[in-house]
């Protein structure tokens, strides 16, 4: 199953790879070079289609749990001052996605979208300390009565050139549902209340839409 954001790219890639094979078969007479180019095209095609895979995830919905919004590796767990929306201290949990991870973004809690804003910016590597404030990014705040307000931020990396964000102010959303997509390498930051109990450690690999990364209160 592929994500809808990849349909156009997969179609174009399929056409180009098909044309590539026709050219190789008709114009490359050197046997070893023919095989090498064919294998290279196949590898390229597999990389593209696997990037847009969208595996089904089963979310156990709970207002007391914050689930991982994406697949990837936990690279930051620290207390920070969040200055775009809260203007106070929060616990930041950052998840880095390599190009081989699933890049679907999923809502970490259920609730109402209170804030959603796109910021153009740079394309620093996603693990750079300033990526959260200087890279192209979207900031989304979800609120419900039990969890309060939770902020997550989609951040473009050095390869990512487009962030897709489905969250719009006043939308009612459900934990684990599709919240967007980041194309070709990225990171997602979560900003949580200080009384949050973190359930993951640095360098843990997490599974978006299913794994609990924190509990509230």
Residue 41 tokens read as: 């095209």
Residue 160 tokens read as: 């990512």
Which residue bears the tokens 């399929």? 14
- Dist. CA 152–CA 139, nearest whole Å: 6
Q: Is 186 among the residues known to form the active site?
A: yes
CB 165 within 8 A of CB 138: yes
Q: Which residues of 195-205 are buried (b: 16+ CB within 10 A; e: fewer)?
A: ebeebbeeebe
- Dist. CA 21–CA 13, nearest whole Å: 12
Residue among 110, 132, 147, 186 flagged as catalytic: 186
Three-state helix/strand/coil letters over 129-164: CCHHHHECEEEEEEEECCCEEEEEEEEECCCCCCEE
Within 10 Å of residue 46's Cβ, how many Cβ atoms?
A: 10
Residue 156 tokens read as: 């473009």
Distances (CA, A) of 170 to 69, 112, 137, 140, 142: 20, 6, 20, 12, 10
Residue 90 tokens read as: 């929060």
CB 72 within 8 A of CB 95: yes
Residues forming the active site: 186
């Amino acid at each position: 199953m592929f994500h809808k954001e990849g349909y156009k790219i997969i179609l174009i890639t399929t056409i180009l790879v098909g044309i590539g094979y026709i050219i190789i078969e008709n114009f490359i007479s050197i046997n070893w070079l023919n095989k090498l180019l064919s294998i290279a095209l196949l590898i390229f095609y597999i990389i593209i289609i696997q990037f847009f895979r969208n595996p089904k995830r089963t979310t156990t919905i709970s207002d007391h749990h914050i689930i991982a919004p994406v697949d990837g590796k936990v690279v930051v767990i620290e207390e920070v001052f969040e200055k775009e929306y809260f203007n106070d201290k929060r616990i930041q949990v950052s998840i880095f996605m390599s190009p081989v991870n699933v890049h679907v973004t999923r809502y970490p809690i259920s609730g109402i979208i209170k804030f959603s804003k796109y910021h153009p910016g740079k394309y620093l590597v996603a693990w750079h300390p300033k990526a959260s404030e200087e890279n192209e990014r979207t900031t989304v705040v979800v609120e419900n009565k039990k969890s309060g307000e939770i902020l997550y931020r989609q951040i473009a990396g050095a390869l990512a050139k487009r962030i897709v964000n489905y969250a719009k102010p006043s939308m009612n959303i459900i934990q684990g549902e599709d919240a967007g997509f980041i194309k070709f390498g990225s990171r997602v930051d979560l900003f949580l209340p200080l009384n949050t109990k973190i359930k993951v450690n640095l360098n843990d690999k997490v599974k978006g839409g299913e794994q609990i990364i924190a509990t509230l209160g």
